[in-house]
Amino acid sequence: MKRAGADIDMEKALQDQYFAHMACFGCGPANPDGLRLKSFLADDGTVVASFTPWPEHDNGLGYLNGGIIATVLDCHSGITVTHAAYSRGWPALPGVPLPYVTAGLDVRYRRPAPLTDTVSLVAEIREASEPEIVCHVRLEWDGKTRAEADAVWKRWRPR
């Protein structure tokens, strides 16, 4: 199924469509030891994903580690920004593999996230210009936001 006006397969993860050969730890389809996050465009225009933590992601107290939370927030915002960039006609420039790179990630931890249950990720673009895109992303479980971040992404230009 294709979304009208875009060349996006709604049944295939955005990571698999934009960078199937990338080995990023959080979202790279080509990293067999990574988290392998899979994100999808939702009908309301947000980008959504589910993530099931591994026992190794324990923060020492039986909850999901904050570093892993930051990683999935960063990676989920990254694919949201990548999709927004391509949708606006701002693809990766010649000589660089991605159109944008993380310039800042302001993470706020609201309450503990479970280690043994699947959590949800939701991201949306807040501001978009060719030099910079800002994305808001949150990790939710049991109807409550557990962590959220504002991610600033800058245009990656070859040097």
Is the dihedral angle over the CA atoms 5, 153, 19, 26 positive or is it negative?
negative
Query: CA distances (Å), 108 to each of 12, 54, 93, 142, in order?
Result: 30, 22, 32, 18
What tokens were used for 13? 């993860």
Averaged pLDDT, 93-101: 96
Q: Is residue 76 within 8 Å of 136, Cβ to Cβ?
A: no
**Closest by alpha carbon to 145, among 107, 116, 110?**
110
Q: Is the pLDDT of residue 101 over 90?
A: yes
CA distance 3 to 86: 14
CA distance 32 to 70: 20
42-155: in CATH 3.10.129.10 = yes
- Per mean pLDDT, which range of 4-13, 39-48, 70-79, 121-130 is the poorest? 4-13
- pLDDT confidence tier of residue 159, bands split at 50, 70 and 90: confident
Sort strands 100-109 and 144-155 into parallel, antiparallel or unpaired: antiparallel
CA distance 97 to 89: 16
Mean of all residue pLDDT scores within the chain: 94
User: Quick one: what percent of the chain has pLDDT higher than 90?
Assistant: 92
Is the dihedral angle over the CA atoms 40, 42, 47, 50 positive or is it negative?
negative
Averaged pLDDT, 24-37: 95
**Helix, strand, coil share (%) of the chain residues, nearest 5:** 20, 35, 45
CA distance 69 to 107: 9
Averaged pLDDT, 55-65: 98
